[in-house]
Amino acid sequence: MKIGLVCPYIYPESGGVAQHVRFLYENLRLHGHDVRIITASHGPQRASEGDILRIGVGFSMPTNGSVGTLTFSPRYIGQVRSLLARERFDLLHIHAPCDIGLPSWALWTFDGPIVGTIHSYFSHTKARTLAAPWYRYVMRRMTRVIAVSEAARDTIARYANFDCTIIGNGVDCDAFEAGRPMAKFADGMTNILSVGRLEHRNGIDLMIDAFALLARDRPTLRLLLAGEGPSRAAYEAQVGRLPTSIATRVVFLGAVWGERANLYASAHCFALGARKTSF
């Protein structure tokens, strides 16, 4: 089967949805399917390459306590229509199908079965009520709907009736089991690990404050912050205001990809400070 995966964010940049799309792409190919990823571009990523097909230029904007990507221009509709006519997908799988931009262009122009995966959780507001007709339209267009959690499903179920299958984000257990402690962190310190995009929604500031309290009387405690994001400078400044004896034990690792299993194996504790998440 030839499958198109529509990623609303710039692929393969960091973020939960892009990660989800990446591993879905890899596993669908392992099962013999012909798969393409449809995404936008920005910065140095301008052209399609291999199985990654780029439409238009996306730009980042704050949304739901995070930073989303909006690929929004009427001229992109024609580009999406041409791409779909050329590729002749048997199935289109749209991630975050309610998002305006690339998901909506694909939704309007594809004539065939569509699977949609709901990734987001957001609080109810009056503005969301005004958007209810759009949510109902999107759900009617779906052949099948997946949500990564009950919370993600219920977010849209406030505004539209639809059947939904809950499929949580998968974990490659074999890959993580193969992780081995990294020598640079196997120095007798006790490592607390946080993995997440550096933004307000993920509560990295809470992690730093909590660590500062714990670290006062525990000189062998260390905080490892894995991830990149728009709030990094603010968090580095927050750490800079701590006593030097504590600040030097907060390590910003940046985006971690190939070493992630080894990083988990190096940690004695995993801590999540997220204020809002869908799973």
Residue-range domain boundaries for the chain: 2-166, 174-270
Per CATH, the homologous superfamily of domain 174-270 is Glycogen Phosphorylase B; (3.40.50.2000)
| Residue 252 to residues 85, 126, 235, 260, 262, Cα–Cα distance (Å) | 45, 38, 9, 14, 16
pLDDT at 72: 56
Q: What are phi and psi of 180, to 5 degrees?
A: -130, 145
pLDDT at 136: 97
Helices 102-109, 75-87: crossing angle, 10 deg rounding: 60
pLDDT of residue 225: 98
Look at the pTM and tell me if it is higher than 0.85.
no
Measured between alpha carbons, how far is 105 from 97 in angstroms, rounded to an integer?
10
Let me know: does 194 contact 273? Beta carbons within 8 Å.
yes
CATH number for the domain running over 2-166: 3.40.50.2000
Q: Do the first three CATH levels of 2-166 and 174-270 match, i.e. the same topology?
A: yes
Residue-level pLDDT, tens digit, the chain, 279 residues: 999 999 988 787 767 788 899 989 999 999 999 999 999 876 555 566 889 998 877 656 555 555 555 555 667 788 899 999 999 999 999 999 999 888 998 999 999 999 999 998 888 888 889 999 999 999 999 999 999 999 999 999 999 999 999 999 888 899 899 999 999 999 999 999 999 889 898 999 999 999 999 999 999 999 999 998 889 999 999 999 999 999 999 999 998 888 999 999 999 999 999 887 777
